[in-house]
Amino acid sequence: MSFKELVKNRRSIKKYETDSHVDDEAVKEAIELAAYAPNHGMREPWRVIWVKKDRIAEYAALFGEHSFKNDADKRQKHIDTVSKLGGILIIAGPIDRRQKQHLEDVLAVGGYMQTLSLALFDMGIGSCIKSPGSMFDPGLNEALNIKDNESIHGFVYLTDLPDDIEDKPRKNLNLLTEF
């Protein structure tokens, strides 16, 4: 697939109706390939925590415990849904208190995560980036070994690609203005 086709055809896969399995070697290759995403000053302000398929139910229970503390039904629904994933990649990185460097880090991590999504799609793996508010929960961060000087930037859900990926035309294609 050409780069142009890859960019135009990749979609976030948000339906997890069947039990998914992903190729671990392809995931590892995508993680490594995405590290070549452009980032300011070669800061590379990310690390990846990989929740593989065999640990996904355990992770789903942990996440549900911190995200749906007072709602057992929502917690169980979350566990049932997430347990169908082929894995999850948790993207974490340092928190730089300097404003300019922090912005550069956030932009670099976003570039990494988007490049990762493209690489996964190219390898036949569906993905969806998630950034729930509970990613800031101190208990969840502690359980995931997120250090005091770090933050979770997002989660990348891994799943099978459906046979029919819906075409979603872009609304904002008239981006260019001249100075």
Averages of pLDDT over runs of 10 residues in the chain (179 residues) are 87 88 97 91 91 95 90 91 96 94 93 96 96 93 95 96 80 83
pLDDT at position 57 is 93
Rounded CA separation 53/55 (Å): 5
pLDDT at position 139 is 93
pLDDT at position 175 is 81
pLDDT at position 174 is 81
**No. of helices (H) and no. of strands (E), the chain:** 6, 4
First-to-last C-alpha distance (Å) of the chain? 35
Side chain identity, residue 154: G
**Residues 34 and 44 sit within 8 Å (Cβ to Cβ):** no
pLDDT at position 171 is 81
Rounded CA separation 111/162 (Å): 25
| DSSP calls for 77-94 | HHHHHHTTSSEEEEEEEE
Model confidence, pTM: 0.92
- Domains of the chain as residue ranges with CATH: 20-160 (3.40.109.10)
Opening angle at CA 25, ends 142 and 20, nearest 5: 75
Rounded CA separation 123/116 (Å): 11
pLDDT at position 115 is 96
| DSSP calls for 110-134 | HHHHHHHHHHHHHTTEEEEEE--GG
Which of 110, 99, 104, 124 has the alpha carbon at shortest distance from 156?
110
